[in-house]
Structure 1
Amino acid sequence: MPVTTLDVREVPPPERHPTIHEAFEELASGETLRIVNDHEPKPLFYEFQAEVEDFDAENYAVERRESDEFVADLPKV
């Protein structure tokens, strides 16, 4: 499954979710958007779960690598 990585740590906070949504929309079915963030993206998970039909919530995964580095996989069905 192809993975596209997007590091949003340098993106201004108000622009992060729109940037992530745009990148996710560009994916083909079966691909995954991997985001690198400075905090746990739990609000983003809930937003995707509620609003994005192609989001595969069952296969969502997040890993805390450092105190300010979280890596989350957002798979697309």
Structure 2
Amino acid sequence: MPATTLDIRDVPPPERHPMIHEAFQDLASGETLRIVNDHEPKPLFYEFQAEVEAFDAENYAVERRDTDEFVADLPKE
């Protein structure tokens, strides 16, 4: 499954979710948006689950790599 990576650690917090939504919309079906974040993106997961029909919540995954580095995969159906 191809992945597009978006490192948002240096992006101001108010700009993060709109940037992520835009990048996700640009994906083809079956692709994954991988985000690198400075905190666990639980609010983003719930937002996508509630608002983004093409989000494959069952295959969402997040990995904590360091105290300020979380990598989350947001797959598109």
Normalised to the residue count of structure 1, the TM-score between the two structures is 0.99
1:45-66 deviation digits (Å, cap 9, x = unpaired): 0000000000000000000000
1:27 is matched by which residue type in structure 2? L
Tell me the secondary structure at the aligned position of residue 23 of structure 2.
Answer: helix
Q: Within 5 Å, give how 1:1-77 maps onto structure 2.
A: 1-77=1-77
Can you give the 5+ residue segments of structure 1 that lack an aligned partner in the other structure?
A: none
- Unaligned ranges ≥5, structure 2: none
Q: CA shift at 1:3, angstroms? A: 0.4
When normalised by structure 2's length, the TM-score is: 0.99
Off by >3 Å, runs of 4+ in structure 1: none
SS at match of 2:27: coil
Sequence identity of aligned pairs in percent?
A: 87
CA RMSD after TM alignment = 0.2
Q: Which letter maps to 1:7?
A: D
